[in-house]
A and B are shown apart, each in its own frame.
Chain A
């Protein structure tokens, strides 16, 4: 079970990233829980300065951009 966290205060890009992450979970066919982290203190605790950020199992894999669903799926499989 993977934990996928989308870091972002709730702007458009963050919501888009969340949708892409859901798509990626379906592509990868893994079991994953997607959390949307909007709390600034928690976002900053990951060392992220540009949102949206993406965290898989506690590891920051992307910041300040929306990766493609395929890229995220690949991270889900390898991470």
Chain B
């Protein structure tokens, strides 16, 4: 083969971007009337009936969640590309424990991070002399206040709950980081971590990317994510639609109500194996919240889904001794339970 492989036609970016933006907003605004029309007029289902409401919920939420994921996630991933881990390390190195811990938790919201980078990041931080408690604040906040959860909470529940969730997540990360920082962490880390010497290769700060490259990366990341979660999203919305249409409010109030002290621990236990299915779970949560599940229980459920990840624990086991893993998990679970009980007690 001598010729270069066929290139895809390259439409200029400044032509694609406005078309996509306009199309997105058009789809966003037409979604609700279209879903209602399809459920109640086209299919002739009765408004207020069990089946009608369930079908309308499903037809409304599938495009809505997909639009949120495809559109907002692309924008968010693009913005996040400006906060690589190296920038965080430079910002945190040499600061006091408290400001560094708060900073690390905040960076957890914006720094792009995948759990397979947990070990290199951990070592990179140790090398820079950043206290390990600070690193833990990041490791807690990064998955918990993740972009998928925030975008979907904002889009489906409004900014109030999204910001409450973010605030609660940051609080758990900061307190968790401070508590873990008090432990004799040097002894609880696998010895090879402290022995390894990091080299000074090029970092993502030196490897400047163009805006178009960043946008293309953001789109690729988003597209891959949507492909991965699509099935779960549809199943989740299906379950949500069933709850919305058929499950009576009294049942939710009875099982998950504020008077049941076991509701928060139970939802946390249910949530742990659901990891990485935040996109599929939030529509279920949406339906449950609509049926009167208290906010504290709802937030605890959401947090436990994303914060405690078995795959990440397997990866972190490479650098941490079992004792530390247990302490880490215990701190995170305690924090989530505290958030659940606190918000329920406040009667929000």
Seen from chain A, the residues whose Cβ lies within 8 Å of a Cβ on chain B are 8-11, 13-14, 27, 40-41, 43-51, 55, 59-66, 68
Pick from B84, B192, B201, B216 the residue with the most CB of A within 10 Å.
B201
Given contacts A49-B117, A49-B121, A51-B116, contact A65 B199 (CB under 8 A): no
Which listed residue (B209, B216, B318) contacts A40, Cβ 8 A? B318
Neighbouring A residues of B84 by C-beta, 8 Å:
50, 63-64
A50 near B196: Cβ-Cβ < 8 Å: no
Task: Tell me whether A11 and B192 are in contact in the complex, defined as CB-CB below 8 angstroms, given that A40-B318, A50-B120 are known contacts.
Answer: no
Does the CB pair B85–A49 fall under 8 Å?
A: yes
Given that A50-B113, A63-B207, A64-B112 are contacting pairs, would A9 and B199 also be in contact in the complex, using a CB cutoff of 8 Å?
no
Q: Give 10 pairs: A residue, B residue, CB < 8 Å, sorted on A.
A: A40-B119, A40-B123, A40-B196, A45-B199, A47-B200, A51-B116, A55-B201, A60-B201, A60-B207, A62-B207
Of the candidates A44, A60, A66, the one whose C-beta lies within 8 Å of that of B124 is A44
Residue in A closest to B228 when the chains form the complex, CB atoms: A12
Secondary structure of the B side of the interface?
Answer: loop
**Cβ contacts under 8 Å, B201 to chain A:** 46-48, 55, 59-60
Q: B119: nearest residue on chain A (CB-CB)?
A: A40
B115 to chain A, nearest CB (A): 8
Task: Please tell me if the beta carbons of B114 and A47 are within 8 angstroms of each other in the complex.
Answer: no
Residues in A neighbouring B196, C-beta threshold 8 A: 40-41, 44-45
Q: Chain B residues with Cβ under 8 A from A40's Cβ?
A: 119-120, 123, 196, 318
B254 at the interface (CB under 8 A from A): no
Minimum CB distance partner of B196 in chain A = A41
Q: Looking across the interface, which residue of chain B has its beta carbon closest to that of A66?
A: B220
Q: Are A65 and B217 in contact (CB under 8 A)?
A: yes
Q: How many residues of chain B get a CB closer than 8 Å to chain A's CBs?
A: 33
In the complex, the answer to whether B85 meets A13 with C-beta atoms within 8 Å is no
Q: Are the CB atoms of B117 and A50 closer together than 8 Å?
A: yes
Partner-A contacts on B (CB < 8 A): 4-5, 84-86, 89, 112-114, 116-117, 119-121, 123-124, 192, 196-204, 207, 209, 216-217, 220, 315, 318
**Nearest CB to that of A7 among chain B residues?**
B120
* Contact status A44-B199, CB under 8 Å: yes
Alpha-carbon distance between A27 and B3 when the two chains are bound, in angstroms: 9
Complex contacts, B117 vs chain A, CB 8 Å: 49-51, 64
Question: Are A51 and B114 in contact, with the CB atoms below 8 A?
Answer: yes
What A residues does B198 contact at CB under 8 A?
44-45, 47
- Whether A50 contacts B204 by the Cβ 8 Å rule is yes
Contact A50 B119 (CB under 8 A): no
CA distance A68 to B202 in the complex (A): 19
A61:B207 contact, CB within 8 angstroms = yes
CB of B192 within 8 A of CB of A41, answer yes
| Closest beta carbon of chain A to B289's beta carbon, Å | 32
- In the complex, are the beta carbons of A49 and B202 less than 8 A apart? no
| A64, B213: Cα distance in complex, Å | 13
Residues of B within 8 A of A60 (CB): 201-203, 207
Contact yes or no, B207 A9, CB < 8 A:
no
Residue of B nearest to A53 (CB): B201
Known interface pairs A27-B4, A44-B120; A63-B203 also in contact (CB < 8 Å): yes
> Assuming the A-B contacts A11-B116, A13-B116, A40-B318, are A47 and B192 also in contact, with contact meaning beta carbons closer than 8 angstroms in the complex?
no
Q: Is the CB of A49 within 8 A of B116?
A: no
Residues of A within 8 A of B5 (CB): 27
Q: Return B135 CB to nearest CB of chain A, in Å.
A: 12
Query: Which partner residue on chain B sits nearest A65 by CB separation?
Result: B217
CB < 8 Å neighbour of A8 from B116, B199, B202, B203: B116
The 7 closest A-B pairs by CB, nearest first: A47-B201, A11-B116, A60-B201, A60-B202, A49-B124, A46-B201, A47-B199
Q: Contacts A61-B207, A63-B203: A49 and B120 contacting too (C-beta < 8 A)?
A: yes
